[in-house]
Structure 1
Amino acid sequence: MKIEIWSDVMCPFCYIGKRNFEAALAQFPDRENIEVEWKSFLLDPTIPELPQHQENIYQFVAARKGISYERSVGMHQQVVRMAKDAGLEYHFDKVLVTNSLKAHRLIQIAKTKGLGENAEECLFYAYFTDGRNLSDDAVLTELGNDIGLTNAEVKEALTNPVFQHKVEADGAEAYRLGAKGVPFFVLDRKYAIAGAQSGSEILKVLETAYAQWKKDNSGLFQVAQGTTCTPGNECTH
């Protein structure tokens, strides 16, 4: 059964949602029958690569939302606690706010190499824990190497317009499916989970979706038998 996950690497709830999903999947007995595909979702494509207050996410969010600096700090402290409960370590004091398009382009080429999950994990950690600048080509090249990409592949991701088109197509697809934000999980195109829900809640939906998928795919083909040839050149009439 296929599960598609839309996220933005600069969304704090997406990383938390990833950990909660992993916890749910670890408890799921048929996890070997689950295929996961990560998809891109740009939360704010209008953010420049070097935004005002780049080095102070508290001030950046305060200015964007029209709230006080103190309230912004309090909101981020609450997210830090949520992240800790999921086993993550967020350092908002080190975060460098930027447009996430380049990071998503890197994810798109990583997906073509079977490295999509590696890319998501690496970029989430780089942003929220290490405070790396995800708009810096040199940083992205280094992270790309860590994921398993070559320098040439990273350059291809950042320069070939096809990878931006893939990012945009993923976002458009999410909106068509009813997503209003991320994380957004779609299970077998029949069930959806919006937001960073707990591992136990994700597991419930996973079990329901899988039971339906198994039911839908348990029937045998109805075969109209005719003359055939089998391996070994044995032909029957």
Structure 2
Amino acid sequence: MQVEVWSDVGCPWCYLGKRRLDKAIGRFEHDGDVEVVWRSFQLAPHYPRGAARPLYEALIEQTGGTLAEVRSMVGRVTEPAAAEGLTYDFDSAYMCNTFDAHRVAQFAGRHGLGARAHERLMRALLVDGEILDDTETLVRLAVEIGLDAEETRQVLAGDDYADAVREDAREARRLGARGAPFFVFDRTLGISGAESVDVFLSVLREAHARSA
């Protein structure tokens, strides 16, 4: 069974959804039959590259809200994330364009490291306060998950995997996605959003039954 996941590495709900899917697969009776494929989906593709700003500052400008209002807005994900073992640090987080981070994730996926890449990149931005449109930061994170530093630097210096990132986004829209996270099971069942572990487990079982 193939599970495709469209997510943005800067999306707190995507990281929560990943954690819940991982737990559901761990409880699934046929977990060894599940292949998870990570797809790219930028929630803010038009955010300027190289213009990282503290998250709250950027959200205040985008929404016109107060600091208290944007804290409340992003805080809605903090409690459910903590219940899954994720400690977000929005005070240290930056909003940035994630296109290059997705290119690194695509590069990692070609080496069988897609899941590790998404995990590390999401933790870097949402927990560690890393800026993910910085080349040297991305190279360092790539090395941490097992990629070669010089090869990663060459990827980032050119346009490698740019078409793959864009095609993933187009494919998500063709499948009906209007945001992320978006999960597709064997191209027959889909889930939008970070549903509960029980919901993911139920869909895994239904998709497996359909393929039997």
Class of the TM-score when normalised by the shorter of the 2 chains: over 0.9
Inter-partner Cα distance in structure 2 for 1:213 and 1:140? 39
TM-score scaled by length of structure 2: 0.96
Code of the residue aligned with 2:110 in structure 1: it is T
**Does the CA-based 8 Å contact 1:3-1:186 persist in structure 2?**
yes
- Secondary structure of 2:95 counterpart: coil
Deviations 1:128-174 (A, max 9, x none): 11101111111111101001011122123213324111100100000
Corresponding residue number in structure 2 for 1:182:
180
Task: Tell me if the contact between 2:50 and 2:134 (Cα under 8 Å) persists in the aligned partners.
Answer: no
Counterparts of 1:51 and 1:140, CA distance in 2: 16
In 2, the alpha carbon distance for the partners of 1:77 and 1:2 equals: 32
Q: Calculate the TM-score normalised by the size of structure 1.
A: 0.86
CA distance in 1, matches of 2:64, 2:206: 41
Aligned to 1:153: 151
Give the number of equivalent residue pairs.
212
The 2-side partners of 1:137 and 1:30 are apart by 39
2:168: which partner in 1?
170
1:39 — aligned with what? Answer: 39
Aligned to 1:232: none
**Aligned: 1:75 with 2:73:** yes
Structure 1's unaligned 5+ residue stretches are 215-237
Query: CA contact under 8 A between 1:47 and 1:99: conserved in structure 2?
Result: yes
Q: What is the CA–CA distance in structure 2 between the aligned matches of 1:148 and 1:185, rounded to whole Å?
A: 26
* CA distance in 2: counterparts of 1:195 and 1:159, whole angstroms: 33
Q: Which has the higher contact order (CA 8 A, sep 6+)?
A: 2
Residue of structure 2 aligned with 1:101, choices 99, 102, 109 = 99
Deviation beyond 3 Å, 4+ runs, structure 1: none
Contiguous gaps of at least 5 residues in structure 2 = none
Superposition CA RMSD, Å: 1.2
Bigger radius of gyration, 1 or 2? Answer: 1
- The alpha carbon displacement at 1:87 in A equals 1.0
Match of 1:192 in 2: 190
| In 2: Cα distance, 1:209 partner to 1:122 partner | 28
Deviations 1:30-61 (A, max 9, x none): 01011110000111111113437x02x12311
Q: How far 1:80 sits from its partner (Å)?
A: 1.4
- Rounded Cα–Cα distance in structure 2 between residues aligned with 1:156 and 1:107: 14
After superposition, what is the alpha-carbon deviation per residue over 1:95-144, rounded to whole angstroms, capped at 9, x for unaligned? 12110001000001001100000100110111111101111111111101
In 1, distance between residues paired with 2:93 and 2:49? 14
